[in-house]
Amino acid sequence: MAPHPSGAPGVQVTHELEQPFPGASDYEVTCAASAPPSPTRTPRDCAEAEGGGCRGAPRKLRARRGGRSRPKSELALSKQRRSRRKKANDRERNRMHNLNSALDALRGVLPSFPDDAKLTKIETLRFAHNYIWALTQTLRLADHSVYGLDPPAPPYGELGSPDGGSAGDWGSLYSPVSQAGSLSPAASLEERSGLRVATSPACQRPGAPAFADFL
């Protein structure tokens, strides 16, 4: 797919590439060090506390600060707004470029699909999800065969499928996600191209079915 590999017309790609991992820029580091990812963001409890804020900023102080600012003409305000918007757009564009670089890095470590188009974003994420799950199962099975004993019941969420299912043998190695049908990138690829998914050597072990067989 990839209608326009380098983006829409007029797009200047300014993000830094050629890094070991594109996500390792200062940008991401600072992001990781600061706020937790959005899912844990607090709901907008304070939305109604506009202006005064809910983090202890004294209203008096804010009012005083506000009063100190110099009144600006409509023209100057409009100019400033435009300038701010433009800068915000640049940042947003750069942010999305970084996100895409990280996605590309993720594509790079996933088994490749010869002759087929680049995975879409959603396919990449879903494939990575299933791939990690499958690798986990492989490790588990390897342990199983080496020690020849039943592994202890895994703690919740450790060895079961990412979606909560549990799998104990190859017969059950189909990720529930894959079984659901619509979420398997391999399946979608086969649908798209009729290709049988190629399997990376690193994904196989002697006597074990190829990942493609259960992805």
Q: Which residues bind DNA (CB under 7 A)?
A: 1-4, 7-11, 27, 30-31, 34-35, 37-38, 41-47, 50, 55, 69, 84-93, 95-97, 100, 120-122
User: What does the DSSP 8-state code read for residue 179?
Assistant: H
Judge whether 187 and 181 are in contact, CB under 8 Å. Answer: yes
Nearer to DNA, 83 or 145 (CB): 83
- CB closer to DNA out of 15 and 140: 15
CA distance 1 to 184: 18
- Nearer of residues 1 and 153 to DNA, judged by Cβ: 1
Interaxial angle between packed helices 74-109 and 121-147, expressed in degrees from 0 to 180 and rounded to the nearest 10? 40
Instruction: Compute the least distance from the CB of residue 179 to DNA, in Å.
Output: 20
**DSSP annotation of 164:** S
Least Å from the CB of residue 143 to DNA: 35
Name the residue among 143, 179, 145, 140 with its Cα closest to residue 163: 179
> Which is nearer to DNA, 81 or 205 (by Cβ)?
81
Least distance from DNA to the Cβ atom of residue 183, Å: 12
Q: Quick one: CA torsion of 87, 92, 93, 98, rounded to 10 degrees?
A: 130
Cβ–Cβ under 8 Å, residues 203 and 111: yes
User: Token pair for residue 95?
Assistant: 């942010």
- The two tokens of residue 85 are 């918007």
Which C-beta is closer to DNA: that of 30 or that of 73? 30
Rounded to a whole number of angstroms, the minimum distance from the CB of residue 32 to DNA is 8
Shortest Å, Cβ 61 to DNA: 13
